[in-house]
Each structure stands twice: as structure tokens, then as C-alpha cells.
Amino acid sequence: MIFQGKTILITGGAGSFGQEFAEVILKEHNPAVVRIFDNNELQLVEMGRRFSDRRLRFFLGDVRDKSRLERSMADVDVVVHAAALKHIPVCEYNPIEAVRTNIEGAVNVIDAAIDQRVPLVMNIGTDKSVQPANLYGATKMVAEKLFVQGNAYGSHKNVRLSSARYGNVIASSGSVIPLFLEQRKTGEVTVTDERMTRFWISLEEGIRFVITCIERMHGGEVFVPKVPSMRVLDLAQTVAPEAKVKIVGIRPGEKLHETLICEEEARHTREFDDMYVIAPEFSFWKEENSKEGKPVPASFSYRSDRNERAITKEEMKKMLDTMKHEI
């Protein structure tokens, strides 16, 4: 196994993704050390109490601080970059802070990984980065492109960098499901538009997808999982079936539907059984890296409103019940 006996660093490691990723890696892949890099002191302390695992190391630091990243990446084998400002209204109101964390922070992660010769570096992306309509999506689009181009500098040092791009994580911190759970106590839930659709993936599925991507990466790819879609209205009615639904209108920077692969990316996208792989259009990429996949049609796009895989209310309820939510 690729993680066995290795040292792994997770930026933003005290967040929802980082904690779940660390738990799966520690339980199933027997790493030597998992380093948690985060700027939230309280979450680091609470995570240490929760796990009580001697293989965990906690680095208090910010991705804006390159020197701290370099120190944390010494002798690291795998970096998973999950640190970001991700809430759209916060990024819209604080645009410079979003740029400094999501773009300049990505540059620091890439530079530190190359300087420290980290073999494998995986960036956690988002569907918001495809044809972005808000600042958060724009910063994540830039970060994704930086990780692709980083291979031009890192390949001669045996450093490979890629991105995993997926949709909304069910019931993650700050997501819509906890909001619906809170709102149903009042008897009314708010939905921005009854036509709105989103891609949905569970946190565990996201973790296992990222692990698979790290195992398969050559450097420069953007990995996209095949995931189902659902109307946000149907999700609200699943979580709060007895509540009244109030339509409040789309917020600034919000899309009606999300896209995981746009038509312009189709010409260098290949389809596999469980995912799509978007190959980089740079000289460092070797065509044989993705020859096993089949090309997608030239007009292909992967949109939440045109997705062949749809989640029914019953399926979503089972997913939420499995995750121990009170539905």
C-alpha cells in the first residue's frame, strides 16, 4: 500500500475532511506518521483528544506562511492540501483574504513541496472552480491550474502534483444539511431556487476517492468522480418532510446548476469505470499515462442537471441514516 510506513501531511487537517482522512489512513493504511497542519488551535487540541494516536503530529500554522510549511514538510512522503477559505459569502466579503489563503497559500504549498522534494502532492478541488461564478470558485480554479503547472518545476525533483475535483459533501461543516436540520425545528426551511441541482458525495466517499487518486496519479491530472445529483428542493423535503419550503432566491455568486467538467475540457478528458481524468495540456504530460481510459465526446460536459445518476429521496434518506443524522 502506498501509505504504509510513510509520513503524510494534511493541510487544513483539523477540518471535516482532514479528520476523516486521518482516521481512514490511520485505521487502514498503517502510516508511520500523520501530520495535521492547521491554524485552528482549539480544533487541533480537540482532535488530539479524540484520536489519542501516537502517530499523529499537530503543526499549528497557516498556509500563508511558507517557512512554516517547509518545516512541516521535512521528510514527508505525501501532502494532501485541504486548507482553504470555502464559504462563498465570506470570500465575497473578504476577497483579499480569500486570495491570500486559496491562491497564495496554494503557491506556498507547491513551492514548499518542491523544495522539500515531497513525492506526491494532492490538491482538494471543487466543482465551484469550473466556469466560476464567485470569488471562491475563481480562487480554486487558479489553485488547480497552479498545481497542474507545478509539475513543470517539480518533475525533475520527482515531485508529482495533481487535483481531486468533486461536488458538495453531504453534511460537512457549514453545508446545507445541518442548516435544514436546524430550520426544521421552526417548521420552515429555505431554498434559493426550486430548480437548483447539486452533485452530492458523502465524506467517506470523498476520502476514498482522494486515496484512489493518490495511488493512481502521474502528476498534472484533475480527477473527477462519477457521483449522483439531486435537486436541493428534494433534499430539503427529505430532511424536513413536514416543514414548509420558502423560496428565497439565488444568492450573489450562486449557480443554478454545477459543472464538474466543462465542454472545453472534454478534448483532453478520458473516462474510466469510476471516474473521469482530465489530462494537462503541457509538454511534461505523457499520453500513455491515461491510455487505459476512453475519450469522451467532443461536446461532453458533466453537469448536475444533466447527470444520468440521480439520487431519489429514499436513497438520500438511507445515506443520511447511515451517517447517523436524525432524519
**CATH number of the domain within which 221 lies:** 3.40.50.720
Residue 178 falls inside a structural domain: no
Residue 105 falls inside a structural domain: yes
From the candidates 128, 226, 313, 324, which is the catalytic residue? Answer: 128
- For the chain, the domain total comes to 1
Q: By three-state DSSP, how is residue 133 classified?
A: coil
Residue 122 falls inside a structural domain: yes
Residue 310 falls inside a structural domain: no
Domain that holds residue 73: 7-167+201-226+260-300
Assess contact for 29 and 8: CB atoms under 8 A: no
Q: By three-state DSSP, how is residue 191 classified?
A: strand
The pLDDT of residue 129: 97
Digits of tens for pLDDT over the chain (327 positions)? 799 999 999 999 999 999 999 999 999 999 999 999 999 999 999 999 999 899 999 999 999 999 999 999 999 999 999 999 999 989 999 999 999 999 999 999 999 999 999 999 999 999 999 999 999 999 999 999 999 999 999 888 999 999 999 988 886 766 788 889 899 999 999 999 999 999 999 999 999 999 999 999 999 999 999 999 999 999 999 999 999 999 999 888 889 999 999 999 999 999 999 999 999 998 888 877 777 899 999 999 999 999 999 999 888 888 887 765 444
Eight-class DSSP state of 297: P
CA distances from 194 to 157, 175, 228, 234, 256 (A): 50, 18, 18, 9, 9
Residue 242 falls inside a structural domain: no
Residue 77 falls inside a structural domain: yes
The pLDDT of residue 113: 98
Residue 79 falls inside a structural domain: yes
Identify the bridge partners of residue 7 per DSSP, sorted by sequence position. 33
List, as one string, the DSSP characters of 47-91.
HHHHH--TTEEEEE--TT-HHHHHHHTTT-SEEEE------HHHH
The pLDDT of residue 327: 44
The pLDDT of residue 319: 81
CA distances from 233 to 34, 89, 107, 245, 247 (A): 39, 21, 38, 8, 9
Assess contact for 276 and 220: CB atoms under 8 A: no
Residue 88 falls inside a structural domain: yes
The pLDDT of residue 326: 44
- The question of whether 128 is a catalytic residue gets the answer yes
